[in-house]
Amino acid sequence: MCADIRDLVRPVVRALPPAGPFSPRPEHRGEVNLRFNENTFGGDCFRYPDTGLDPLAAAYLAALDQLDPSPDGRAGAQEPGHVVLTRGAVDALELVLRTFFEPGVDAVATTPPVFGFFDRLAALHGLPRHHVPLRGTRHDRLDVAGLLGLPVKGILLCDPGNPTGTRLRGSDVAALLDGFPGLVVIDETYAEVAPGPSHRHRIPAHPRLLVLRSLSKGLGMAGLRLGAILADPAPVTALRSAQAPFPVPCEVVDRALAELSRPAELGRRISLFVAERDRLAAALARSPFVTHVAADAGFVTAHVTDTARVAAALARARLAAVVEPDGLREHVRISVGRPDENRHLVAALASPHPAP
């Protein structure tokens, strides 16, 4: 039997009262604000930001509905009450662990090779960890039976995978969601540039699913450090109880609203990026160093025949890439640069050199 999502919240979080009447600010109710201990003699930024982030959440969801519509054609399936905004996707993951997992008691499962911060943050929270490696030559298959057999409260997935650069098989994810009674967390940092629909469309049927998103990658707002958790309203309520007040700075909200108000421009940037990524992947696939490439995410992951030679070639060309990222042996993860930078990379790996 699947657990009610409210039963998965840590008891200490369930017992917490609301953090305070932070939103709307008293000024918006026609009151004099003598609550927040701000320096009223300060500069332009002396006020705390309003924690009422529904306008930003609504703008974000509206942009997603245009960039990644539901497979059945319905738009607006989610509302601001389905969103928790955070300082980047890593902060979102940390908030999930803080809200749902009891240190030293609750365990989590990950599927290596996977984003290194899964293990890092779980360790910092004192959570026992179980590793169930991905299957398939492209690292795109879940060991569903292995995951379902574990004594864990939650499973952390990355789709598209980092560092694998591939998407998970959708039928595997569906089987896991149907069979696992705990919390499933899917990091979708690169969803905007990935083929296929987002897992956010599964949330109405799976209230124990939390989807982590980032505005840093495909949407091109890395400097704003803004992320989101998309979920059913019940876990959103719990997450907000565990979140610190004033989570997003005023300037970040204003800049993000301006960017999100132009979904057509965001879509154009995404298309340019995807086209350049795919050109880079095709060119790298012709290198004598490379046996195959994966390019479903915001980077290209190349399986190489000689890691030492590739690392030496990159160093000679003064190119910084990640060799064997997160323990993925005989692979190199390469960010997508500008066209001239990518041509330089391809030329550096175009012909073999003596081993260093």
Domain-terminating residue out of 226, 261, 296? 261
Query: Which tens digits make up the pLDDT trace of 155-206?
Result: 999 999 999 999 999 999 999 999 999 999 999 999 999 999 999 999 999 9
Peptide bond into 80 cis (omega under 30): no
Q: Is residue 356 part of a domain?
A: no
pLDDT: which is higher, 253 or 76: 253
Same domain, 206 and 63: yes
Q: Which two tokens stand for residue 317?
A: 């060309």
Which backbone phi and psi does 75 adopt, to 5 degrees? -110, 160
| pLDDT value of position 70 | 80
Structure tokens at 246: 């004033």
* Domain that includes residue 187, residue range: 5-261
Asked if residues 273 and 117 have their Cβ atoms less than 8 Å apart, the reply is no
Average pLDDT over residues 124-144: 97
164: CATH: 3.40.640.10
Tokens of 352: 């073999």
228 and 85 together in one domain: yes
**Are 41 and 92 members of one domain?**
yes
pLDDT greater than 80 at residue 267? yes
Q: Which of 261, 293, 318 is the last residue of a domain?
A: 261
pTM above 0.85, yes or no: yes
User: What does DSSP assign to residue 185?
Assistant: E
Separation in Å, CA 220 to CA 123, 216, 254, 266, 285:
30, 5, 15, 8, 26
State residue 258 phi and psi, 5-degree precision. -65, -40
Do 323 and 338 belong to one domain?
Answer: yes
Inter-residue contact 144 to 179 (CB < 8 Å): yes
Phi, psi of 151 (to 5 degrees): -85, 65
In Å, the largest CA–CA distance within the chain is 74
Contact 101, 127 (CB under 8 A): yes
**Domain limit, last residue, from 209, 243, 261:** 261
**Who's near 292: CB < 8 A, 6+ residues apart?**
285, 302, 303
Same domain, 299 and 206: no
Which one of 3-17, 135-149, 237-251 scores highest in mean pLDDT? 135-149
Residues 279 and 185 in one domain: no
Q: How many helices (H) and strands (E) does the chain have?
A: 12, 11
Q: Looking at the structure, do residues 251 and 269 belong to the same domain, yes or no?
A: no
pLDDT tens for residues 275-285?
A: 999 999 999 99
- Do residues 90 and 154 both lie within one domain? yes
249 located within any domain: yes
In a domain, 319, yes or no: yes
222 plus 256 within the same structural domain: yes
Check whether residue 237 and residue 293 sit in a common domain: no
Please tell me whether residues 107 and 212 are part of one structural domain.
Answer: yes
Identify the CATH number of the domain in which residue 298 sits: 3.90.1150.10
One domain for residues 272 and 252: no
**Residue 354 domain-assigned?**
no
Sign of CA dihedral 114, 117, 123, 127: negative
Element (H, E) at 280: helix 263-284
Inside any domain, residue 293: yes
pLDDT band at 1 (very low <50, low <70, confident <90, very high): very low
Q: How many domains does the chain have?
A: 2
Model confidence pLDDT, tens digit, residues 60-71: 999 999 998 887
pLDDT in the model for residue 29? 85
Provide the token pair at 356.
């260093």
pLDDT at 76: 44
